A and B are shown apart, each in its own frame.
Chain A
Amino acid sequence: MIRLFLNTLRSLKNHKMQTFGLMILVIVSTLLYAMMTYSNDVIYVGSDTYFQEQNQEDFSFVPSINLTQTQVEEILSDYDIPVTELIATDNISNLFTTYKVDMTPYLTQQAQSLADEHNFSIEPRVQKMFTDTVNDVDYHFLALKTNEQINKSYVVEGRLPEQDNEVTMNEPFLNANGLSIGDEYEINGKTYTITGSVYDVDQVFPIVSLDSPLYMADRDAILHFTNTEFDRIEAQAQTMYSAVFNDESNIQAQYDALVADDEVKTFEYIISIDENPRTSILESRAEMSAVMSTIMLAFLSGITAIMVALTIRRQINNEKEQIGVLKALGYRRSEIMASYFVYAVVIGFGGAIIGYWIGYGLAFPVSDILRSMINMPAFDIHPLMDRTVIGMFGPMVIIGIVTWFVSFIALRHAPIWLLSPGSDTHVNGLARLIDKLNLSFKNQFRYSLASRGYGRLFMVFFGAFLSGVLINFAFLLMTMIEDVTSNAFGAASYNSQVQYTQAYELPNERVGESDEPITVAKVDFDGYTSESSFLQSIDASQSSIELTGLRPETTLNRLLDSSGRDITEKVSEGVVINSFVESGFGIEVGDVVKAVTDNGKTIELEVVGVTHAFNGNYAYTDIETVNALLGYNSTAFNAVQSLDDKTNLKNEAGVASVMSLTDLVENMTQLNQQMTMMLGIFTGFAAGLGLVMIALVSNFSVDDNRKVISLLKVMGYNKKEVSSIALNIYTPVVFLAYVVSIPAALQVVTVVTQLIGQEIGVGLPVRLSWPFVGLGLVIVLVVYYISIKMAQRALNKVSLQEALKK
């Protein structure tokens, strides 16, 4: 028995390259399995306890203001507002904003009475958002007033501020900027000492700036100051109310009941923790990565199992005669079969031990990369029993089963059959077919050699196909990201857009030479709702559409359709929607939509075009149409698009908001770069997988054709010729596999983007980019070429004497 084990061990040793290749497959699968599952744990596993302990809100809201007569009079006198202005305005909250009226006491009063009525507790969530530019870089800050009961801050290290010159920051920002506790940091010209690293449970996916809503750890920070210092920060304080139901059972039902009660417009804004984009993506991300790691493991184990099966089958075939001898000597089948389990132990168990623990070790560093986009503390991980058993023994069991199966079939033959030379006694069908094709002699020869191993042919196809699909998958996503990013704002060429709290008439000093007057109205399209919870809540307003009135001759906001045609002129015929609105609301060209403003004014417009842009819910029509809708004169405007950077107007009276297009574009470009990098790594992984598979098979090719190779060498064929006959035979297969992989990848990406699209309510553009298709082919061919180069070393080692053996 021991001798038989030794025999198999030696055979592993003599086929180093194959043993090594198979082990790499096992190592990679177990490594990825452990790495993905454990890094997932670091991010998500403790999140429930964390949310509970910090008392995360169930929902947050802002009550709508229903001021009584007395309260209005109180405000008018407190803030010296003339009654005439109150009568003249059609938007009371704009008026109050202009006079900087602090509504907090009234809101709190109202929120408290709602809380009493519906049995929940509240705590105001007060925040200030501001930007500080240092060396031309915009740093965005979200300062939170520290809460006592709901959404309690979690201090990872250090402590919360006690002095007015102290500040805490969130860990991702500290890490990304190489800051540590005790360091000094200047904000708005004042120097603070960093006293702690802090997380907030309602800011898992922080939105720190509306101009660049995607969180970038190196630029965006969440701060806590002392309360007195917080009040001193120069920025508009925004107050929301965080709420937790007193009765912890069936929170969803209570929330639904509360929202259903909303007929009288109780809330200006309400969002549950599950819908809030600052927190809600967590669960779907956790699920997604769990599913991904399982698929990955199953997929890689499958490939490994197939490759092992192929190897063992060859091994057993090669040892057919030896097995015959053993059987003739009286060895039992089980004894011979047992010797082949050496494969399972060495490759399966050996590979798994290495892969699993390396993966476990990598879980933390890898999770750090992912966590830089997720504002949550790292949770402790421990090796889990079930996972360790699966990770360390799974591959061995799978390989064991495969081995058992293959050897069982091979060993069923009688010794006499096994001892007969066989193999050369038939011609396979494919070879006969090839014979019928009128190929040149050399090709005929090559393909007849290739046809001798259907298994190898299939594996090469599969390997090239798989790499092709994965590589094209990554490239398609890259193309999509690039398309969305570069088209996000269509042909808009302004730098910033200033929104005023009221309308002005042209000519006006607010509209300079590099400016363009527009009129903007927030409207709903009657009968259409957006599926996109994500967009709704980035901008705390609901699913409304920003109806932008343009002058058809504007130079700053040209509208292009998907084929690049300028359709700006069409705004005078109706409304032009953007791609987001088209897919998010399901509106088509030819539809007639009824735009409804907040205070009930309406207009019917025909949809006359779709502009290829992904900037949110935007629709465009003639400026005069919007002016008419809002009851303004035809020369009025309430916003200005400008070639200049007007962010400095932000805090001026009469300015509602300033949006910087440049910032937004930069923000998206950064995300684009991150995604592209990750997809690049993915492409490398795909190429590596293909390399291992094709290299293994090429090596098999040499091994299976030793005799022919040796014969050709003896006859005087040189190295190049031998290699072109015995190795480069798979070139057409690789080509074919790659070609087939393109539609397959396209299909996968289409399905995936549909899924993502449904979640964010957007149709994403999927298209093949030919340069990428070409690059993919080059990668696959290079992989193939390297595999062949590696196999050539084995080929050169085939001795001349081999052909002479009897």
Chain B
Amino acid sequence: MEAIMTLEAVKKVYGKGDTLVHALDGVDLTIFEGEVVVLLGPSGSGKSTMLNVMSGLDRIDSGTITFQNEITSAMSDAQLTKLRRDKIGFIFQSYNLLPNLTITENVEVGRYIANDKLDIDQILKSVEMYDHRKKFPFQLSGGQQQRISIARALAKNPQLMFCDEPTGALDENTGKKVLEVLQKVNKEYGTTLIIVTHNPGIAAMANRVIRMNSGKIVEHYENDTPIAASEVQWA
């Protein structure tokens, strides 16, 4: 397997003096193509910060981040924008769908700027939302909305997809459904997934599990036998 992203001695601090926080305190990590990576840790441990710097939404103070052999930590804003545009997808805890656009149009928002545009109907079928394509977001449940946001992220066929607490606002049934869809995306499209969660049950469906605390990786292991999303022990 080939490495898609590597982090070397990555540090990120917030504030100064008394209020100085080491959000990331020397992180080394390699992620391989096609993996499902789960990032665990208590609140405030640095998960979101990690996700932000990996995806180029935020800058680091020291260290190196490499994405497909390019050093992203040295890129300009415009280059980072280009990178996100072409290769990276996002899924948010709060879905962030645009209320005045239909489902199809919401997916189109993600597809519009893509180099490698996937077929909208095909994607909607993948996330099992094809029948709802003419509706507006408020007509859907939270889990359904999250599946649309996955479709939106998928529409440009990204290499990497970052999911920050994708099931954080969902109950077990709908949450599992979302995980199933994510797993399916990983299998069908070969998309590398990085999922931030504080639900430890989800770790069982990952190829690689990372646990953080106080900005440091405190546990890191590979899982040779990831389970199906439907089997996840919900916590």
Contact = CB atoms under 8 A, between A and B. Distances in A.
Interface stretch (B31-39, B103-111, B125-133): B103-111
Contact of B101 (A445, A707, A717): A445
Contacts, number: 85
Nearest to B108: A441
B84 interface: yes
Given A449-B100, A715-B85, A716-B85, A804 B105 contact: no
A801 interface: yes
B141 to A, nearest CB: 13
Given A424-B138, A452-B100, A715 B109 contact: yes
B86 A716 contact: yes
Contacts of B112: 441-442, 445
A803 B58 contact: no
Interface string A746-788: 0000000000000000000000000000000000000000000
Nearest to A451: B100
Interface string B57-92: 110000000000000000000100111111010101
A424 to B, nearest CB: 4
Interface residues of A, number: 33
Interface centre among B78, B92, B109, B137 (most CB of A within 10 A): B109
A713 B92 CA distance: 14
Contact of A715 (B58, B101, B110, B169): B110
B73 to A, nearest CB: 16
Contacts of A599: none
Interface string A423-457: 11111100100010000011011001101100000
Given A451-B100, A806-B168, A714 B84 contact: yes
Contacts of B82: 716, 718
Contact of A801 (B52, B101, B138): B52
Contact of B99 (A424, A444, A713): A424
Nearest to B114: A716
B9 to A, nearest CB: 24
A803 B105 CA distance: 19
B48 interface: yes
Interface residues of B, number: 35
A429 to B, nearest CB: 11
Contacts of A423: 99
A441 B105 contact: yes
Interface in A151-197: none
A708 interface: yes
B174 interface: no
Given A707-B96, A714-B57, A804 B85 contact: no
Given A448-B100, A715-B84, A806 B113 contact: no
A449 B138 CA distance: 16
Contact of B100 (A428, A716, A800): A428
A711 interface: yes
A800 B88 CA distance: 14
Contacts of A717: 81, 85, 113
Contacts of A715: 84-85, 90, 109-110, 113
Contacts of B108: 441, 445
B100 A801 contact: no
A721 interface: yes
29 contacts: A424-B137, A425-B138, A426-B138, A427-B99, A427-B136, A428-B100, A435-B102, A441-B105, A445-B105, A445-B108, A445-B109, A448-B100, A448-B101, A448-B105, A452-B100, A712-B109, A715-B90, A716-B81, A717-B81, A717-B85, A718-B78, A718-B81, A718-B82, A718-B85, A800-B58, A803-B90, A804-B164, A805-B94, A806-B94
The 10 closest A-B pairs by CB, nearest first: A716-B85, A716-B84, A431-B100, A448-B100, A424-B99, A800-B57, A427-B136, A441-B108, A711-B96, A425-B138
Interface of B: 48, 52, 57-58, 78, 81-86, 88, 90, 92-94, 96, 98-102, 105, 108-110, 112-113, 136-138, 164-165, 168-169
Given A427-B138, A448-B100, 7 more contacts: A424-B138, A444-B101, A707-B96, A714-B84, A715-B109, A801-B52, A803-B90
